[in-house]
Structures are given as C-alpha cells and as structure tokens.
Structure 1
Amino acid sequence: MYEIVILGAGKSSSFLIEYLAKMASSFSYKLTVADANIQNLTARTTLLENVQIVAASLEETSTLQKIISDANIVISLLPPFLHTKVATLCLELKKHLLTASYVSDEIQKMHDEAKSKNLLFLMECGLDPGLDHMSAMNILDNLKEKGANIHSFRSFCGGLVAPESEDNPWGYKITWNPRNVVLAGQGMSQYMENGEIKYIPYPQLFKRAEALFFENFGEYEAYPNRDSLSYIPKYRLENVDTFLRGTIRKRGFCSAWQCLVDLGLTDDSIKMMDISNFSISEVFKRFFPTNVSIANYLKIGQDSEEYQKLLWLGCESDEKIALAGNVSPAEYLQVLLEKKWKLKDKDKDLVLMQHQILYELDGKNHELHSSLSVLGQNAQHTAMSKTVGLPLALAALFLYTGKITKRGVQIPTEKEMYKPILEECQTNQLLFIEEEKKQPSDDFY
C-alpha cells in the first residue's frame, strides 16, 4: 500500500497530519508520523483515524533508514540540520522528499541523481518559504503574459499573534521554531534596491525596519531577510530594479530586539559558565558594565517602549530560569522567550504576508499589493501550522496522483506546482486579496 511518512510532530505539524489523515481513506494510502517525543505524537494524533505513530530518535541513521524504507513519500519537518541525512537516505532508497525548509547546497547537489531516479525533492513548500513563492509567481507570470515589465518586487511575511491575544508589550508569541526566532537575521542581509546591491550587517539590521500597514490588523514593521538576491533568477526577474524579501514584526518590536542584539544576548558563538542559579537580572548584568544601568548602557529612557519590553522579559527580575550546564547567550534567551512568549491554550496566532509589485503595462505605471491574513483557532490549531502544512499536504497528494510530474531538486515556482496548490488553498480559505494602488509609489519617479 502506498505510504506517506511525516518526520517530526512539532509546532507546525498539526494541520499537515490532520489533513493527510482525513484524506487517507479517499486516496487509499497509509500515513505514518514519526517523532522522538511521544507527547508530541499523542497531542497531534490521539483523535485521528488512519494514522500510525512511531516514537523513535530520528537522529539515528539506522532508525531513519527503517522508517523511510517503508515510505513512498517522505515529508520532513525535522530541524534543517537533519535534512541532508534524510535526503541522502531518500536518494539511496528511492523515495520522494518534501520539506518546508530552504534548499541547502548539499541537497542542491543531489538534483541530477534525484532526477535520474525519477524522484522529486521538493523544498521550500511551506509558508515562507513556500506560499510566498507560489503566490508571487502566480502574479508575476500573469503580469508577464500580459506584457508587463516588472520594476520592483518586495515581499514580506511574518508569524505573529492575533491582536485579541496580544497580552505582552512585545506583541509577539512563538508559533514556530524558537531557535530560528532567536537567530533570525544573523549574517549579512543582501538585497537589490534601484539597481544597486545593498548590504546590511547583523548589528544594523533591526535599525533598518520599515513600516507596514494591514487593514483590520494595524501597524507592523519589517526587516530584510538574509538573502534576497538568490531569488531574483528563481523568480525569473533578472531585469528587476528592486528585489527584497523581508520578515514582519509588530510595530516597535525591532527597536527592542536591537537592544538584545546590542547586549549580545543573541550570540551563539560562546558558552557561558554555569548560570543555573542566576536570576534573569543577574544574567542580563553579565552583558553590560558594573555600576551602569541597563537603560543608560543602551541609551534608552526608562519610560521608553524598549525599556518596558526588557522589563517585561525580566531584565531586573529575581526570577530564575532552569538550565543545566553551560549554554550560549542565544540558548539562554531561547529558553527565556519560550517561557515568556508561550501561546496560551486559547490564544490565536496570525500569519501576515504582503507582496508589493511595481510594474509598467501599456505605457502606464502600476502598483499592486497582494495580501494574505490567516487567523489561528487556538494554540494547537494555529495559522502557522495551516499555512505551513496545507501546501506540503497538497504537494504530497498531487505528487501521488501524478498532477505534479517535476523531478529533481525543486522549489514551487513552476506553474505545474503552484497553480493546483494555490487553487486548493483558496478552497481552504487561504485567500490573497489584490489591490491596485491609485497612485504608484514614488520609486517610479
């Protein structure tokens, strides 16, 4: 019997598991979900039919090999560092592989062999990356078919918290991989602006956030992703003047996060000595001089929004965070944020995405905005899990039924892949709203 295996049952897996379980009888396939954490497996599958679970460490090659050998399609929601191992086994065992993660250099090198074995390794097929690619390419290809010249493409996406569930000054809670939240933006960000390549070093990144507004949700801001440039050829926009992909946060988030960057709390390069008995304030004090207040060191007022956010995190608190052994500043911050930014059971998260496109058609300048907003139901049935899981589930079904025939290492920028997935996403209430601006941006002039 045809089998689909899902590796990983973490925060973003619930919708994917439930959708494929619901479809298993109609499409006549077996569904297996594997994870090292039995609590994750139980929480995601207890009420579902047509699901087999496997509780096992997925870092062990022999265990992975056994699970993958029984599959036809493998969907990996494991941490990115495990994807090369998974992909290598899929190549060896001749199994299709789908993930929501970025294409690594190691996996890209598998393209020719995967194609020769009639295998699809579909990467970047979640939310961001994933739905952003598909929705953007749908618009861009349609505009090009009409004869439009694309001058500027800017795209932003963020996993946030719904306004009614905002109960902390950061306006943020964790709905996806917490380590990625802490390490976001590290390295050098690069993008194209008015025909020139621009670079932003990590220490400056969050100072360069720009304002965004979403109808019904309010004011937000966005900072550039680390690598926009590599997507210019992937989006077939070699002649574009401006190309930028960025991440959305609530207004005021970035200036406060910059304080954590300036302190050094996002650094992952060193291990701090055992701090298991330290209070939060004692840990914070290790990052600025003695006899200087944190506000004075960071040059922020005690009545500032930035200081209030740091206070809420506990920068002057006697509370202790349970940790064993030596950890990096980033690891400590991650544990602190997982505690402080945890979704409550009835909290609703929010996914926002917006493409901003400047183009010329029939001698006239146009500005098009295409926006997506998705509200979660609660802490388990999140907007993040739906927007990551539904594209992956649909890709698996369309691969199984033969609607997707591409092979090799791919991302969903071709019409064969993005068109059926987007059409089915619409029937599941993932709707992009397009708006033509009456007065195009000054970037045209």
Structure 2
Amino acid sequence: MKKILLFGAGKSATVLIDYLLQEAAVAGWQVLIADADKNQVLAKINNSPFATAVQVDITKSEQRAELVQQADIVISMMPPALHFLVAQDCVAYGKSLLTASYVDDQIRNLQSEIENKNILFLCEMGLDPGIDHMSAMEMIDGIKAKGGTITSFKSHCGGLVSPDSDNNPWHYKISWNPRNIILAGSAGAVYKEQEAVLEKEYYTVFENAETVQFPGLGELAWYPNRDSLGYIPLYQLQDAETFIRTTLRYPAFCRGWDYIVNLGLTDTDDHDNIMDCETYADWLERKLYLVENREMELEEYISLYVPEEFEEELKTQFEFLGLSANIKLPKAAQCSADILQFTAEAKLAMQPQDKDMIVMLHEIEYTIEGSKLKVESWLRVDGTDSLRTAMAKTVGLPLGIATKLILNGTIALTGLQIPTSKAIYEPVLQELRMAGISFTESSRQ
C-alpha cells in the first residue's frame, strides 16, 4: 500500500486533499496529512478511511523524519521558506518531493544529491508557477513543430475576486498566502522587451502599470514578476526579442498599491522608526512625514502626488483599509509590513459567500514562412466557495495529478524538475482539461 505524505493543510490545500482522497479510494493508497493544527486536517478529511491526520511541528527534525520515512512520495504545501527542511529529509531517505513554489538556491544546491538518489523533485507545480509553464510550453512546442520562430512571449496570471463578489475599492480579496500579497514585487523585476533588458526596482514595479484586454472582463493591469530572464533558457526562447512573465490585477489595485509601496507601508526593516506609534493614524502620519520631512495630512499628500482623476479613488482605498483610523496597532507587529498585513487580512478577507477567480493569458508573436502571426490563449477559473477557491483548485490539482502520475509510473523522470517537459505537461494538462481547467485560443495575423 502506497503512502502519500502531505505537509500543510491550509487555504490552498483544500482541493488537493479532496483529490488525493478521491484517488486514494480508487487505488487503495493512504494519505498522511501533517499540519501544526490537527483539527484543521480533521475538518478537511471528513472521516475518510484513506486519510490520517497528524499534528506536527515542522521545525522538529525527528517529527519530520519519522513521517518522511513512512512515505512513498511527499508533497510540501508549507510556506516556501520551510520547504528546505522537508527537502533535506527527502534526500536523506530517498523520497520524491513535490511543491508549488519556485526553485530557490537552497533546493538548487541539492540537485546533485537528488540525482544521485535517483529521486524526483518536481517544483513549481501549482498555478503560477505551474499551469503557466505547462500551457506555455504546449503552445511553444506546437509553434516550433510547425516551423514557427517565436519573437515575443508574454505570460500573465492573477488571482482575483470574482466580479460577483467584487465590492471593495481595491477590487481584490485575499485567497492565498497574505504575506506573499503584502510583499509582492519587493524583489523588483527584470525582463526582456524589444531586445533590451529592463530592470525595475521595487518602488517602480506598480508604477504606470500596462494593461491587457481579457475576454469577458475588460481591462486588466499587469506588473512584472521577479526574474523573467531565468525562464528564457528553460522555455528555449533565447532568440525572442521580448520575454516577460507578469501578475494580473484590476487597474485600481496597481494604482493604489504603488502609493502603498512608495509610502513605505510594506517596509520590513522599519521597527525602530515606528515603535512608538500607537494607532494606525500615528503610523500613517509618521510615513507621510518622511515624504518631505514635514508634517503632512493624507489629503495634502494626495493633492500633491496623485493625479486628479484618481484622488478620490486612493482616498477611498486608504479609508477602506483603515489606515487613518485611531485604532490601536496590533501588538505583535514588528514592522510596517506586519501592520499592513493585519489590516489587509481583516478588510480584504474572503467572506463565506465570496468567490475568487483565476485568470491567465499568454500572448505569443511568431513568424512562419515570412508571415507574422499572434496567438493568445486564456484561462478563467471561478471558485466554488471560500474554501474550494479557484486558487485552491489551480494550485492543488496540478500537484495532486502529478502525484498520481508519478505513483502509477506515467511520469518516470528523476532529478530536479519543473513542468516544462512534454513528459510532464502533456498528461497533466490532459487531466486538467477533464476537470474543467482548459484554455481558449485565438490566432490572428
């Protein structure tokens, strides 16, 4: 009897757990689900005879080791910084590992050991990264098979609130890791456009965000993701003049978040500067003071720095988050990012009746037999409810499907991989289509 070990049962794991239990019932597998909150696991497994709930402190090596040794395959849905703890155990005990997170330097440094153990580490196997890689590579390989030469590649993806549940001035609600949302863009960005390598520092990432037209939704804004250049060789698009991977938001979000960042409201190293602030109003006042080293009210800042057509929009956004409120700051907050996260989690929370939405759009320009062509491929997935969200579906299902395909031998690769090879993307995309996650494509000259 094969055993699947899943670390983490949080927001994005709900649909993954549903899928694993469904497949375990068919194949006779057992699923061990380990989390710091055992009750959270019990609430999601619904007394399934194919699941075991385990309470674990992920930082305790003996607890991790005991669980990893029992497993045939391991999935980590822990925060990215904790994957390495699990990865070390998987290498030590010769177990394959799947994550939905980017390959970081710590994981990359294990590559030779992974290869020597003849195991598979399949990373970036969620939505973005994940479905974006697989769907893009399917298009890229298809164009090349026809003799086409790709000149421009743009890939956009975003987790948004469904239009039916869009009722706040940010046009956004939190459906995944809130810390990642607060610090989005903080690493800056680098990408290639018209042969030029462009770099953006954090304070410019959301500035003057460009837009795309998304079928059925209209105008969406995008900001560039971290390091797009690193994916050029993985996608084998070294000759493309433009290569960029981005995140989609509604335009109002990017306009507002640009000011959030530039006021330092996402700072992680400003404890000494804000430690004597008692209320949100004090905190914002301190940040406004730093703009010109003088006292300044929010209204004055807006009149000086915000285009007139967006003044009321920004004021409403700040008011919605309570940034000027005479409310005590959270005691545990150690920096501005902590403070902002606390209020964002409260004000931008998904309510039980709310639905989220995933949108993805690939734009590829290419030449073939002297003709210039453009193909667009788009995906929209709507959440079912506040638990089985679109985010949970599109992060969890690729992981679950890949786990099954590895256990049944359909995916037989080893080493450190992301899902850019046909051996991975072809069977996974096929099953995703059966689950209703499929792209619509249109071409034009």
Fraction of identical pairs, as percent? 39
Task: Specify the alignment match of 1:297 in structure 2.
Answer: 301
Matches within 5 A, 1:266-285: 266-271=266-271, 278-285=278-285
User: In structure 2, do the counterparts of structure 1 residues 166 and 408 end up closer, same or farther at CA, with 3 Å as the change threshold?
Assistant: same
Alignment: residue pair count? 437
Q: Does residue 346 of the first structure (1) align with residue 353 of the second (2)?
A: yes
CA shift for structure 1 position 18 = 0.4
Task: Specify the alignment match of 2:2 in structure 1.
Answer: 2
Equivalent-residue separation in structure 1 for 2:406 and 2:16 (angstroms): 15
Equivalent-residue separation in structure 2 for 1:57 and 1:286 (angstroms): 38
Equivalent-residue separation in structure 2 for 1:270 and 1:427 (angstroms): 49
Equivalent-residue separation in structure 1 for 2:278 and 2:69 (angstroms): 47
User: In structure 2, do the counterparts of structure 1 residues 16 and 167 end up closer, same or farther at CA, with 3 Å as the change threshold?
Assistant: same
CA shift for structure 1 position 14 = 0.3
CA shift for structure 1 position 189 = 0.8
Task: Specify the alignment match of 1:135 in structure 2.
Answer: 135
CA shift for structure 1 position 275 = 6.3
CA shift for structure 1 position 311 = 1.3
Task: Specify the alignment match of 1:77 in structure 2.
Answer: 77
CA shift for structure 1 position 277 = 8.3
User: In structure 2, do the counterparts of structure 1 residues 56 and 274 end up closer, same or farther at CA, with 3 Å as the change threshold?
Assistant: farther
Equivalent-residue separation in structure 1 for 2:299 and 2:91 (angstroms): 54
1:171 and 1:253 in contact (8 A); partners too: yes
Q: Does residue 315 of the first structure (1) align with residue 323 of the second (2)?
A: yes
CA shift for structure 1 position 187 = 2.5
Q: Does residue 236 of the first structure (1) align with residue 230 of the second (2)?
A: no
2:277 and 2:283 in contact (8 A); partners too: no
AA in 2 matched with 1:237: L
CA shift for structure 1 position 47 = 5.5
Which SS does the other structure have where 1:206 is aligned?
coil
Query: Residues 260-300 of structure 1, C-alpha deviation per residue, up to 9 Å, x if partnerless?
Result: 11110111123257869833222211211264112322523
Which SS does the other structure have where 2:362 is aligned?
strand
Task: Specify the alignment match of 1:396 in structure 2.
Answer: 403
User: In structure 2, do the counterparts of structure 1 residues 246 and 293 end up closer, same or farther at CA, with 3 Å as the change threshold?
Assistant: same
Task: Specify the alignment match of 1:442 in structure 2.
Answer: none
Q: More deviation in 300-309 or 406-415?
A: 300-309
Query: Residues 11-64 of structure 1, C-alpha deviation per residue, up to 9 Å, x if partnerless?
Result: 100000000001102122110111002342233223644211101211221111
Which SS does the other structure have where 1:212 is aligned?
strand
2:377 and 2:441 in contact (8 A); partners too: yes
Task: Specify the alignment match of 2:215 in structure 1.
Answer: 215
Which SS does the other structure have where 1:259 is aligned?
helix
CA shift for structure 1 position 211 = 0.8
Q: Does residue 425 of the first structure (1) align with residue 429 of the second (2)?
A: no
CA shift for structure 1 position 208 = 3.7
AA in 1 matched with 2:313: E
Which SS does the other structure have where 1:16 is aligned?
helix
User: In structure 2, do the counterparts of structure 1 residues 349 and 272 end up closer, same or farther at CA, with 3 Å as the change threshold?
Assistant: farther
TM-score with structure 1 length normalisation?
A: 0.95
Equivalent-residue separation in structure 2 for 1:186 and 1:33 (angstroms): 32
Q: More deviation in 24-33 or 379-388?
A: 24-33
Query: Residues 363-382 of structure 1, C-alpha deviation per residue, up to 9 Å, x if partnerless?
Result: 11111110000000110010
CA shift for structure 1 position 437 = 3.0
Cα root mean square deviation, aligned: 1.7
Task: Specify the alignment match of 2:379 in structure 1.
Answer: 372
TM-score with structure 2 length normalisation?
A: 0.95
5+ unaligned residues in a row in structure 2: which ranges? none
AA in 2 matched with 1:319: I
User: In structure 2, do the counterparts of structure 1 residues 273 and 63 end up closer, same or farther at CA, with 3 Å as the change threshold?
Assistant: farther
User: In structure 2, do the counterparts of structure 1 residues 159 and 49 end up closer, same or farther at CA, with 3 Å as the change threshold?
Assistant: farther
Task: Specify the alignment match of 2:443 in structure 1.
Answer: 436
Which SS does the other structure have where 2:150 is aligned?
strand
Query: Residues 364-410 of structure 1, C-alpha deviation per residue, up to 9 Å, x if partnerless?
Result: 11111100000001100100000000000011000001111110110
Which residue, 416, 419, 427 being the options, matches 1:412? 419
CA shift for structure 1 position 324 = 2.4
AA in 1 matched with 2:128: D
1:345 and 1:378 in contact (8 A); partners too: yes
Task: Specify the alignment match of 1:250 in structure 2.
Answer: 250
Q: More deviation in 209-218 or 62-71?
A: 209-218
Which SS does the other structure have where 1:13 is aligned?
helix
